[in-house]
């Protein structure tokens, strides 16, 4: 007898992905023939030197940028433009200043045509999930950086995406808020069972959150590297195995 298992949603297939930019008449190939399969529900971190193409790759996955060659499939369907199954979170939360926390989080659902009361109900659920239950009536200007970013995360989750794409979402936060938010992201990822693709320049953040870390090559045309992070969760930053991964990743960048 054959058991047909339901395939996890949010599977990303990247095939021979190539992207160049022309700056001042010079062509710069940023991503060259990238091949990668991201499992549904996986947490993947993307690291690489500044200018190595992390944001470009994420923008292509989001459908905000078209590749020159090759392409991306989500659950087997080619990506062209934005899609409901994907939500993007940038470094700055970009909240609408004339809407409350609740208004901001419900906005995406209302745009999708969800009745107002149902949109509000669903938005409240995600506002509570990110720990801002008491602030649904607050205005963006009344929030700290960490709180605003949580609103951004709640807004992205409310449309119930299969895939969360994050570009240095915690980059602007202070060290302590950042660690708290990393724990929150870990919990949200586990609860929501979304595929998480996280661009970060913080190697510790990558090890804390990811099942696998994708290292983009420094020299253009070099090969990507994939590192499995085989550690139980929640992860302990002081665990000797964690520290070994940090050393290994640092050495990828010639750091000690």
Ligand X SMILES: Nc1ncnc2c1ncn2[C@@H]1O[C@H](COP(=O)(O)OP(=O)(O)OP(=O)(O)O)[C@@H](O)[C@H]1O
For ligand X, what does the binding mask look like between residues 163 and 202, x meaning CB under 6 A? --------------------------------------x-
* Residue (54 or 124) nearer to Mg ion, CB: 54
Which range touches Mg ion (CB under 5 A), out of 52-60, 129-137, 208-216, 238-246? 52-60
Q: Is 61 in the site for ligand X (CB under 6 A)?
A: no
Q: Which does 155 bind (CB under 5 to 8 A by kind): ligand X, Mg ion, none?
A: none
DSSP states of 139-164 as a string?
-GGGS-HHHHHHHHHHHHHHT--SEE
Q: How far is the CB of 50 from ligand X (least distance, A)?
A: 3
* Residue (46 or 109) nearer to Mg ion, CB: 46
Which range touches Mg ion (CB under 5 A), out of 27-35, 54-62, 131-139, 176-184? 54-62
Q: Beta 212-215 vs 225-228: how paired, if at all?
A: antiparallel
Q: Which of 213, 169, 168 is nearest to 38 (CA)?
A: 213
Which range touches Mg ion (CB under 5 A), out of 46-54, 78-86, 136-144, 180-188? 46-54
Contact yes or no for 194/163 (Cβ under 8 A):
yes
Separation of alpha carbons 75 and 86, rounded Å: 12
Query: Could you say which DSSP state residue 231 is in?
Result: -
Ranges within 18-57 binding ligand X (CB under 6 A): 21, 23, 28, 30, 48, 50-56
DSSP states of 160-208 as a string?
--SEEEEESTTTTS-HHHHHHHHHHHHHHHHHHT-EEEEE-S-HHHHHH
* Residue (91 or 160) nearer to ligand X, CB: 91
Q: Is 55 in the site for Mg ion (CB under 5 A)?
A: yes
Contact yes or no for 49/253 (Cβ under 8 A):
yes
Q: Is 158 in the site for ligand X (CB under 6 A)?
A: no
Separation of alpha carbons 87 and 236, rounded Å: 28
* Residue (19 or 54) nearer to Mg ion, CB: 54
Q: How far is the CB of 172 from ligand X (least distance, A)?
A: 13
* Residue (50 or 117) nearer to Mg ion, CB: 50
Q: Which does 175 bind (CB under 5 to 8 A by kind): ligand X, Mg ion, none?
A: none
Q: Which does 190 bind (CB under 5 to 8 A by kind): ligand X, Mg ion, none?
A: none
| CB burial string 197-224: b at 16+ within 10 A, e below | bbbbebbbbbbbbbbbbbbbbeeeeeeb
Omega cis (within 30) before 234: yes
Torsion of CA 87, 44, 250, 222, to 10 degrees: -90
Q: How far is the CB of 92 from Mg ion (least distance, A)?
A: 13
Residues near Mg ion (CB under 5 A)? 54-55
- Chain residues in the site for ligand X (CB under 6 A): 21, 23, 28, 30, 48, 50-56, 201
């Amino acid at each position: 007898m054959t058991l047909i298992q339901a395939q996890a949603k949010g599977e990303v297939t990247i095939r021979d992905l190539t992207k160049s930019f022309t700056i001042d008449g010079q062509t710069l190939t940023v991503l060259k023939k990238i091949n990668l399969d991201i499992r549904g529900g996986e947490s993947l971190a993307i690291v690489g030197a500044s200018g190595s193409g992390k944001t470009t790759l994420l923008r292509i996955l989001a459908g905000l940028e078209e590749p020159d060659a090759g392409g991306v499939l989500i659950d087997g369907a080619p990506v062209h433009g934005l899609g409901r199954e994907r939500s993007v979170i940038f470094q700055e939360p970009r909240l609408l200043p004339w809407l409350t926390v609740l208004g901001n989080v419900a906005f995406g659902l209302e745009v999708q045509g969800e009745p107002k009361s149902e949109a509000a109900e669903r938005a409240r659920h995600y506002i509570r999930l990110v720990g801002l239950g008491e602030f649904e009536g607050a205005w963006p200007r009344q929030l700290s950086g960490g709180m605003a970013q949580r609103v951004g995360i709640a807004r992205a989750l409310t449309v119930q995406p299969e895939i969360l794409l994050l570009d240095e979402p915690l980059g602007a936060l202070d060290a302590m808020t950042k660690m708290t938010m990393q724990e929150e992201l870990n919990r949200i990822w586990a609860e929501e069972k979304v595929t998480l693709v996280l661009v970060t320049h913080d190697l510790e953040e990558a090890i804390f959150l990811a099942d696998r870390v994708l290292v983009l090559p420094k020299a253009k045309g070099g090969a990507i590297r994939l590192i499995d992070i085989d550690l139980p969760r929640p992860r302990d930053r002081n665990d000797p195995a964690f520290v070994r991964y940090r050393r290994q990743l640092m050495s990828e960048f010639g750091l000690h």
